[in-house]
Amino acid sequence: MIVRNEEQNKAIREAAQVAATVLDRMVGLVAPGMNTYDLDQAGRRFIEELGAESACYKYKVGSRIYPAFTCLSVNNEVVHGIGSLERVLQEGDVISVDVCTRYRGYIGDNCRTVPVGRVEPEVQRLLDVTEEAMYDGIRNAVAGNKVGKISNAVQKKVERAGFSVIRDFVGHGVGKSLHEEPQIPNFGRPGDYQRLKKGMVLCIEPMVNMGRHGIVMGEDGWTALSSDGSVSAHFEHTVLVGEDGPEIITVPEGKVAPALG
Ligand code: MF3
Ligand code: CO
């Protein structure tokens, strides 16, 4: 959506803050021995405690209805993993915790991939590069730029590091619905796609495979997996295209976002 007045501005910031708080609390629970069903249920409780609702739960794509409250994707799972009692986190795993919530009518969406205990250096590098690629994208979320400036910055960072950006899922505008215009691919040239306007609220979310970029769909009809079995990472922030440049609105309380200048 495009924020046009103070009231909308306040509402979308509050909504984003709720999503950030839930993600932060969930990430705090990630540890070897935790199963992803319990982690999802913890997310459900955090969302309720804050007076919000999950924007994933019962989300429809065609005739499929998403059954969980958050998206939890482990290792070679790329996005939209469904929490399961059988999926017990082990030292050396990584897990993407993706939280999208609705609060007083507005949606906030954010994701981080975190290590479970100690991980291999190459896996940590994948997480670092994906997060840096997200910030490179965010720096280009400036009114007057084409969306492609974001896309290109993300793709460059990822490919120079020897990894691949996923083509099958993209970032998006956000507001009263989860997926709004414009789409924000994580690949492309600087002059590609729509032009950014002041007040736009965007979810910038690189999804990166350590190996090739292809994905396959899991048997549950939701979980996307890397087709080569390689580890995958995903970072996402909700960003306001502000008067004075990009502003990340999913920074949890007590944390500071890196400088964007
Ligand atoms: N953050 C995810 C996205 O933007 C949320 C998807 S909800 C689901 O695609 F129901 F599709 F999982
Ligand atoms: Co999103």
Furthest CA-CA distance within the chain = 48
Q: How big is the CA angle at 133 (ends 132 and 135), to the nearest 5 degrees? A: 65
Predicted model pTM: 0.98
Please state the atom number of ligand 1 nearest to the C-alpha of residue 169. 9
- Per-residue pLDDT band at 203 (split at 50, 70, 90): very high
Residue nearest to atom 8 of ligand 1 (CA): 56
- The fraction of the chain above a pLDDT of 70, given in percent, is 100
Which tokens go with 47?
């969302």
Q: pLDDT tens-digit profile of 137-182?
A: 999 999 999 999 999 999 999 999 999 999 999 999 999 999 999 9
Q: Is the CB of 109 under 6 A from ligand 1?
A: yes
210 has a pLDDT exceeding 90: yes
One-letter identity of residue 142: V
**Mean pLDDT of all residues in 14-32:** 98
Taking all residues of the chain, what is their mean pLDDT, rounded to a whole number?
A: 97
How is 150-207 classified by DSSP, letter by letter? HHHHHHHHHHHTT-EE-SS--EEE-SSSSSEEEEE-SS--TT-SPBP-TTBEEEE--E
* Cβ 59 under 6 angstroms from ligand 1: yes
pLDDT confidence of residue 259: 87
Cross-strand partners of 100: 109
Give pLDDT, residue 261.
73
Across 256-260, average pLDDT: 88
Q: Is the pLDDT of residue 258 over 90?
A: no
Cα 100 to ligand 1 centre (Å) = 7
Question: Which ligand gives the minimal distance to the CA of 99?
Answer: 1
pLDDT tens per residue across span 47-105: 999 999 999 999 999 999 999 999 999 999 999 999 999 999 999 999 999 999 999 99
Q: Does any ligand 1 atom lie closer than 6 A to the CB of residue 100? A: yes
User: Which atom number of ligand 1 is nearest to the Cα of residue 71?
Assistant: 12
12 contacts 3 by C-beta, under 8 angstroms: yes
Domains and their CATH numbers in the chain: 6-248 (3.90.230.10)
CB of 56 within 6 A of ligand 1: the answer is: yes
User: What are the φ and ψ backbone dihedral angles of 112, each rounded to 5 degrees?
Assistant: -135, 145
According to the model, what pLDDT value does residue 170 have? 98
Span from the CA of 46 to the centroid of ligand 2 (angstroms)? 19
